[in-house]
């Protein structure tokens, strides 16, 4: 196997940055997006951070642990989950986002498919919109990102969270994912977004089988070929449980393995629950591949 197959991209069309409404994030090292679910029913930590005080404590912890971004979401998108109203989603996330703008230095991302929620979150200090629908549920998100300059994650999904794991079929798994992401990015660009605002996500666990998710990670280079930074979110997901027979609370090491392989295949942004462990695993993998510890010789 050629050494270049494992090389982390150095000179890409992306240019090595991701611009948000308030700053430029360099992609020269792995970027960690810490997950903060303000929901009672998320698959991994539903209910743990549902109160404002608990959410703010966790937000500050993630910054201290090495998170580069904190992703705040008020609607569970686990398989089988039911949607919530705009009003309920706002009620959950806004107190946390408003406080976060004053209490932490890292950018806040709003994990939503609704323009009304994203608009309020951006006005309160959020800098990124993480849209699991890739603009398929609410195309107004593109205009909002263009107007505000917010960073935007465009993810691939087949169907909607409530039904996405039913009757899963692809004739060409990676080809269909790449084409879906191409359509999402073209839609965003046509509505005024800049290329350096956009990040793509193949949507691990969203309308895919466990076997599909393994293939996506291993063949992630095809997604990188779109020319946008790639984010992945394998953390604690059910494909790990199905592959190794593990419950959610026992999936840490396997989550880190999935992230490291995704890094070797070209991913630069990682949406994770376990920030400390991901920071160590990904920074070490990056140092090994680049052949430098970053430390002065003894």
271 is catalytic: yes
Residues 110/151, Cβ–Cβ less than 8 Å:
no
Q: Write phi, then psi, for 136 (nearest 5 degrees).
A: -85, -20
Exposed / middle / buried, residue 45 (Cβ in 10 Å: 0-12, 13-18, 19+): middle
C-alpha 84/C-alpha 10 separation (Å) is: 41
Nearest residue to 158 (alpha-carbon basis) of 79, 240, 75? 79
Catalytic residue among 114, 119, 271, 279: 271
Residues 6+ positions from 108 with CB-CB distance below 8 Å: 69, 70, 71, 72, 97, 100, 101, 121, 125, 126, 127, 128
C-alpha 168/C-alpha 204 separation (Å) is: 13
C-alpha 185/C-alpha 199 separation (Å) is: 9
How many other C-beta atoms are found inside a 10 Å radius of the C-beta of residue 162? 14
C-alpha 230/C-alpha 200 separation (Å) is: 5
C-alpha 280/C-alpha 276 separation (Å) is: 6
C-alpha 298/C-alpha 291 separation (Å) is: 16
Catalytic residue among 237, 265, 268, 279: 237
What amino acid positions are annotated as catalytic residues?
Answer: 237, 271
């Amino acid at each position: 196997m050629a050494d270049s197959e494992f090389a982390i991209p150095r000179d890409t069309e992306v240019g090595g940055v991701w611009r948000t409404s308030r700053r430029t994030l360099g992609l020269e090292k792995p970027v960690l997006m810490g997950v903060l679910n303000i929901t009672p029913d998320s698959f991994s930590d539903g209910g743990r951070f549902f109160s404002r005080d608990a959410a703010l404590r966790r937000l500050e912890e993630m910054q201290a642990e090495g998170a580069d971004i904190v992703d705040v979401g008020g609607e569970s998108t686990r398989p089988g989950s039911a949607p919530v109203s705009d009003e309920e989603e706002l009620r959950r996330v806004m107190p946390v986002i408003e406080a976060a703008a004053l209490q932490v230095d890292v950018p806040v991302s709003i994990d939503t498919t609704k323009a009304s929620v994203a608009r309020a979150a951006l006005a309160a200090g959020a800098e990124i919109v993480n849209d699991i629908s890739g603009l398929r549920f609410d195309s107004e998100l593109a205009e909002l990102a263009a107007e505000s300059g917010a960073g935007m994650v465009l993810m691939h999904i087949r169907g909607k969270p409530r039904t996405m794991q039913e009757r899963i079929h692809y004739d060409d798994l990676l080809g269909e994912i790449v084409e879906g992401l191409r359509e999402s990015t073209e839609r965003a660009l046509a509505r005024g977004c800049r290329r350096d605002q956009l990040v793509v996500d193949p949507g691990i666990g969203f309308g895919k089988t466990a076997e599909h998710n393994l293939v996506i990670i291993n063949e992630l280079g095809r997604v990188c070929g779109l020319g946008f930074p790639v984010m992945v979110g394998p953390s604690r997901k059910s494909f790990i449980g199905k592959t190794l027979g593990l419950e959610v609370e026992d999936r840490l090491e396997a989550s880190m393995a999935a992230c490291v392989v995704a890094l070797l295949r070209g991913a630069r942004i990682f949406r994770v629950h376990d920030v400390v462990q991901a920071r160590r695993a990904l920074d070490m993998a990056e140092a090994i591949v680049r052949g430098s510890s970053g430390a002065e010789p003894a």
